[in-house]
């Protein structure tokens, strides 16, 4: 069945190529397609394009289909082109001609726009919850190990004293900026394109404000041409937000690879979380961090892939946009796996104490000695030269204690302020309002 059928068959090879992976990928969109149809026909009844009894019967059957979809029992049949066609076919089989009325005033173009936005909203909410768990784990570890010192590095050379409190806390605060990016992407996704039809609106008296409210959107994509132009742009913006998150996690994984190596030896993974070598019996490899790093690098390429697909398209709809699903829909499962396994690794890693007791790290305290002398009245540049000459002669010793008090330093991590920042960002998403609207629609 094709919604555009005109009484002739399409060449089988062309049909297979143009359908592509839509049947498989559209299974992810099925619950959202049903939601959109429920909102659309509720609006159609309000403007006189459906009878009340017709709406009642359609909504009842759509709820059945919705439950099939959320329970994983929804199937797109082999000769059906996509999720939109399958839903309409199921309604028509069960209800007859009434099922043929649900497409009035819309196109598959704005259906897929809507489905992808509803899908993206739900996926972002899930990602945000997992991000928050990782954030909380990092903050807990930061507090737990705030007094355990490690060397800080510049140019991969020993630089100054740092701490596990700073290291864990740095990645926690990085997640707050990633959350800001995610919140901005959510705002883009949380705008209603339904009613744009094929990209030029409809002569039916559609009430787009009503479907916006029914689906819990914060606002409309008002201009129907722009609503269609948003295909690909929305996915690209979301992919950039996911890339920001992937960069944070990937960088943490790089540190994990270094810090578990014998040359550093700052952290240990339980042996049950490592892999071995087929030839070297002593090996306990941090493959988990290496694979996180690779996945995160791959995720960071998704936004550019989408940009290359859409980069030279004029306004209006083009079939090129179908391919975006192939890189966009799978990226959510990939980033969620990375978040979850990173959280698990952080929860279970062992931190090594007394690292800076090793004499090879003594020059990490050179700046502390310069500052000690400056506090005693020696001009900073003279103090710097004195310490530098002592290092060159092999006579450097640190005679003081670490005393860092400013905001965000070893002695003042500001973890509570960072948590407050995260809480402010998360409060702006407004997931409760969206979920209340969806619950009211489907239940």
176-202 pLDDT tens trace: 999 999 999 999 999 999 999 999 999
Mean pLDDT of 66-93: 93
**Nearest-CA neighbor of 273 among 331, 325, 205, 343?**
343
- More confident of the two residues 28 and 399: 28
Correct CATH for 108-357+409-442 of 1.20.200.10, 3.40.309.10, 3.90.1150.10, 3.90.660.10:
1.20.200.10
Strand partners, 350: 268
Contacts of 186 (CB under 8 A, 6+ apart): 121, 124, 429
Band of the pLDDT at 47, cuts 50, 70, 90?
Answer: very high
pLDDT value, residue 2: 52
Helix, strand, coil content of the chain in percent (nearest 5): 65, 5, 30
Phi and psi, residue 161, nearest 5°:
-65, 135
For the chain, the structural domain boundaries read 12-101, 108-357+409-442, 359-392
pLDDT value, residue 7: 56
Query: At CB < 8 A and 24+ separation, what contacts does 8-17 make?
Result: none
| Model confidence at 175: pLDDT above 80 | yes
Whole-number Å distance between alpha carbons of 230 and 188: 9
Band of the pLDDT at 278, cuts 50, 70, 90?
Answer: confident
| Model confidence at 96: pLDDT above 50 | yes
Whole-number Å distance between alpha carbons of 298 and 333: 13
Band of the pLDDT at 412, cuts 50, 70, 90?
Answer: very high
What's the pTM? 0.93
DSSP of 200-215: T--SS---HHHHHHHT
CB 124 within 8 A of CB 182: yes
Percent of the chain with pLDDT over 90: 84
Whole-number Å distance between alpha carbons of 32 and 216: 13
Average pLDDT score over the chain: 93
Strand partners, 153: 158
- More confident of the two residues 271 and 400: 271
**Nearest-CA neighbor of 149 among 167, 135, 137?**
167
In sequence order, what E strands does 202-314 have?
Answer: 219-220, 267-268
pLDDT value, residue 5: 54
- Note the pLDDT tens digit of each residue in 305-353: 999 999 888 998 888 888 999 999 999 999 999 999 999 999 999 999 9
| Model confidence at 424: pLDDT above 80 | yes
pLDDT value, residue 403: 86
- Note the pLDDT tens digit of each residue in 1-36: 555 455 556 667 766 666 667 778 899 999 999 999
Question: What is the β-pairing status of strands 219-220 and 149-154?
Answer: unpaired
Contacts of 251 (CB under 8 A, 6+ apart): 171
Mean pLDDT of 252-263: 95
Whole-number Å distance between alpha carbons of 280 and 268: 19
CATH number of 12-101: 1.10.275.10
Whole-number Å distance between alpha carbons of 150 and 364: 10
pLDDT value, residue 4: 43
| Model confidence at 53: pLDDT above 60 | yes
| Model confidence at 399: pLDDT above 80 | no
Mean pLDDT of 113-126: 98
Mean pLDDT of 115-134: 98
What is the CB neighbour count within 10 angstroms for residue 203?
A: 7
Which region holds residue 197: left if phi is over 0, alpha if psi is between -120 and 50, else beta? left
């Amino acid at each position: 069945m094709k919604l555009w059928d005109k009484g002739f068959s399409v060449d089988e090879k062309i049909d297979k190529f143009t359908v592509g992976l839509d049947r498989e990928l559209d299974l992810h969109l099925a619950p959202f397609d049903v939601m959109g149809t429920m909102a659309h026909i509720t609006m159609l009844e309000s403007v006189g394009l459906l009878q009340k009894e017709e709406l009642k019967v359609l909504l009842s059957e759509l709820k059945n289909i919705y439950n099939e979809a959320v329970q994983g029992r929804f199937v797109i049949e082999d000769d059906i082109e996509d999720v939109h066609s399958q839903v309409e076919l199921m309604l028509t089989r069960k209800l007859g001609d009434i099922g043929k009325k649900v497409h009035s005033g819309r196109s598959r173009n704005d259906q897929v726009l809507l489905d992808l936005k509803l899908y993206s909203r739900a996926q972002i909410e899930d990602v945000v919850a997992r991000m928050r768990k990782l954030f909380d784990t990092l903050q807990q570890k930061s507090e737990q190990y705030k007094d355990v010192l490690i060397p800080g590095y510049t140019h991969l050379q020993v630089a100054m004293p740092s701490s596990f409190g700073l290291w864990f806390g740095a990645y926690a605060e990085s997640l707050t900026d990633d959350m800001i990016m995610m919140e901005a992407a959510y705002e883009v996704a949380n705008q209603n394109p339904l009613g744009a039809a094929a990209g030029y609106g409809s002569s039916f008296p559609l009430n787009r404000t009503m479907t916006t409210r029914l689906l819990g959107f914060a606002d409309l994509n008002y201009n129907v041409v722009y609503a269609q132009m948003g295909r690909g742009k929305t996915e690209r913006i979301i992919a950039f937000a996911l890339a920001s998150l992937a960069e944070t996690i990937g960088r943490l994984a790089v540190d994990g690879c270094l810090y578990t190596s014998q040359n550093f030896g700052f952290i240990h993974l339980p042996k049950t979380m490592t892999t071995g070598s087929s030839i070297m019996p002593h090996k306990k490899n941090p493959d988990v961090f290496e694979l996180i790093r690779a996945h995160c690098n791959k995720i960071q390429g998704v936004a550019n892939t989408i940009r290359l697909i859409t980069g030279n398209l004029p306004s209006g709809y083009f079939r090129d946009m179908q391919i975006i699903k192939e890189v966009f829909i799978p990226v959510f499962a990939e980033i969620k796996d990375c978040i979850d396994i990173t959280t698990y690794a952080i929860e279970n890693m062992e931190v090594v104490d007394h690292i800076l007791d090793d004499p090879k790290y003594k020059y990490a305290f050179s700046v502390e000695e310069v500052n000690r002398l400056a506090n005693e009245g020696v001009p900073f540049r003279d103090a710097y030269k004195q310490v530098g000459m002592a290092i060159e002669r092999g006579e450097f010793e640190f005679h003081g204690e670490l005393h860092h008090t400013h905001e965000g330093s070893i002695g003042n991590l500001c973890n509570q302020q960072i948590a407050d920042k995260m809480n402010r960002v998360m409060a702006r998403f407004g997931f409760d309002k969206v979920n209340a609207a969806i619950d009211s629609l489907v239940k």
